[in-house]
Amino acid sequence: MQTPSIQLIGALSVFALFGITEAIQGRFFSRDATRQDNRLDLAVTLLFPFISGSVLAASGALCAWLLPEQRGMWADWAWWQMLPVLLLADDLTQYLWHRLSHTSVMWPLHRAHHSAAYMSVRVVYRNNAFYYALMPGLWLSGALLYLGFGWVYVGYAMVKLTVVIAAHSAVRWDQWLYRSPALRPLAWVVERTISTPATHFAHHALTQDDGVGHYTGNYGNLLFFWDVLFGTAHITRQYPPAYGLSDDRAHGPEAWWVQFLYPVFRSRRADTVLGSGAHQPRV
């Protein structure tokens, strides 16, 4: 079986595990989800594997054209040599990409990720299609696969996907670490190393005026350490009371196809970054 197939099966399994757990807890079908949310979540979940797979394939094809003799040239590296390269080429670049996405230049392509008024596995891949099509980390990952990272990349990707899915999930697995005094030292290390529900939920908060929300930070995907390193971390071990965007609450949700395919489609709503005019992001 090819490595992309193994990776897809693994990702779907992790997604299904957290999704089923949310459903058992009554959190998968959020009361805050609108019809536009439901359609957008479904569209993104179904199309993300195609978009990301296409980028990886295009990157590999580009490498084959430009570097025909370098295929597999790093395949004999040990996993511990490949891992730092993957963390820098994929996870650090995604931290920077995510941080850039909270500026006026990129916010329209990332807004969909924050328009959900709920947290769930449904939100994990909820972004504009061009957000992923242009993501540097995916293009660099395709190049590393071409150079021979193969199964090490699959293992790395599975760990990262598990952390990212778990950080968005309404299961809130980290609360068990906070409740036990004996586990608090472990929690201190974990929450400064990887993304957790508490730290990532804060990034999706409706407001950051309450001391819990922090949408101008907590950008990490696999490693929350990047936020600690670059001074964008905010750790409270609390969960925001509300999520989403204030302009959606005031004017109603954007159409799902506009959120997913802007600027191919544009919003007719006044005062929106997805329309024809220039508007500043929520920063």
- HSE-up (13 A, CA, CB side) for residue 20: 6
Task: Tell me how far apart the alpha carbons of residues 114 and 243 are, in angstroms, rounded to a whole number.
Answer: 8
How confident is the model over 77-135, as pLDDT tens digits? Answer: 999 999 999 999 999 999 999 999 999 889 999 999 999 999 999 999 999 999 999 99
- Say whether 205 sits in a helix, a strand or coil: strand
Write down the pLDDT at residue 76. Answer: 96
The 8-class DSSP code of residue 183 comes to G
Which pair of structure tokens corresponds to residue 243?
């999520």
3-state helix, strand, coil split of the chain in percent (to 5) is 60, 0, 40
Write down the pLDDT at residue 2. Answer: 62
pTM: predicted TM-score of the whole model, two decimal places: 0.93
How confident is the model over 150-183, as pLDDT tens digits? Answer: 999 999 999 999 999 999 999 999 999 999 889 9
270 band by pLDDT with thresholds 50, 70 and 90: confident
Residue type, 52: S
Write down the pLDDT at residue 268. Answer: 86
Task: Tell me how far apart the alpha carbons of residues 203 and 50 are, in angstroms, rounded to a whole number.
Answer: 27
Placement of tokens 């996907």 in the chain: 161
Write down the pLDDT at residue 267. Answer: 92
Write down the pLDDT at residue 7. Answer: 72
